[in-house]
Amino acid sequence: MLDPPGPYLFLSDVHLESPAQPAFGWLCETFAAARQRAAGVYILGDLFEAWIGDDAPGAAGEALIPVLAALPAAGVPVYFLPGNRDFLLGERYAVASGMTLLGGPAVIPIGAARVLLLHGDELCTGDTAYQAFRAEVRDPAWQRAFLARPATERLELARRARDASSLATTGKPAAIMDVEPATVAAWLTRHDVQYMIHGHTHRPALHRETPAPGVTAWRRVLGAWEKPAMGHWIRPESFSDPQTPGL
């Protein structure tokens, strides 16, 4: 008889910028475990602290290529969807590292369930200043113009954007930087899913949602890798019991 499929690994918000940072080592250990037993690895954005283009992956981006590529080489597919820090990660880096780009929010089947995956920033619609910034930098024309600049300039712009963001976020109420309940409900309903997994807010939790009267759904929020972390593992068979959230 065939072995049941192994668990899926979900992670986000590692915020890599140097191979010397502790999170780089934790990620290598996690991927070594995933190589042995995962059915698939899903990276839900902000793998990197700031991605300015595939031509300038930086020390962490370079060092991670063989670590990522070892997974598909062992038969474990790796999927990446973009965060607000690494939305410029493209096909060239994906090919070098063996990752499959999802491009944005995606619905995947796990066992008997349909699960909506997203970074989570798109759910923070109360943060209108951020949503305006997001709309600008996700515009293909803006991205072409940005990527045409020399890497040194892009690095400086990213540094200034990070500084501006740090300043802006210290002045924002915490509730504004969390997901908007009505937006969560709208996404669950639009994609007709009972399960959602995202990161971004750095507030790990499992939430029971009620997208419509009498309808229950589950929202798993992944944590950031600020302390030793192994990602979030899900066994596909955990969805078979209707009494458990699976996530």
Which of ligand LP5, Mn ion, none does residue 97 bind to, with CB < 5 to 8 Å depending on kind? none
Q: Is 210 left (phi over 0), alpha (psi -120 to 50) or beta?
A: beta
Question: Which residues are near Mn ion by CB under 5 A?
Answer: 46, 83-84, 200
- CB of residue 86 to ligand LP5, shortest distance in Å: 7
Q: Is 209 left (phi over 0), alpha (psi -120 to 50) or beta?
A: beta
Handedness of CA 218, 221, 222, 227 (dihedral sign): negative
- CB of residue 63 to ligand LP5, shortest distance in Å: 19
User: Which is nearer to ligand LP5, 88 or 221 (by Cβ)?
Assistant: 88
Whether the CB-CB separation of 34 and 72 falls below 8 Å is answered with: no
- CB of residue 224 to Mn ion, shortest distance in Å: 9
Which of Mn ion, ligand LP5, none does residue 161 bind to, with CB < 5 to 8 Å depending on kind? ligand LP5
Which of ligand LP5, Mn ion, none does residue 122 bind to, with CB < 5 to 8 Å depending on kind? none
Question: Which residues are near ligand LP5 by CB under 6 A?
Answer: 50-52, 84-85, 88, 121, 124, 127, 129-130, 133, 137, 157-158, 160-162, 164-166, 168-169, 172, 177
Which of ligand LP5, Mn ion, none does residue 157 bind to, with CB < 5 to 8 Å depending on kind? ligand LP5
Query: Which residue has its beta carbon closest to Mn ion?
Result: 200
- CB of residue 173 to ligand LP5, shortest distance in Å: 11
User: Which is nearer to Mn ion, 23 or 39 (by Cβ)?
Assistant: 23
Which of Mn ion, ligand LP5, none does residue 83 bind to, with CB < 5 to 8 Å depending on kind? Mn ion
User: Which is nearer to ligand LP5, 203 or 235 (by Cβ)?
Assistant: 203
User: Rounded to whole angstroms, how far apart are CA atoms 117 and 235?
Assistant: 16
User: Which is nearer to ligand LP5, 169 or 238 (by Cβ)?
Assistant: 169
- CB of residue 77 to ligand LP5, shortest distance in Å: 26
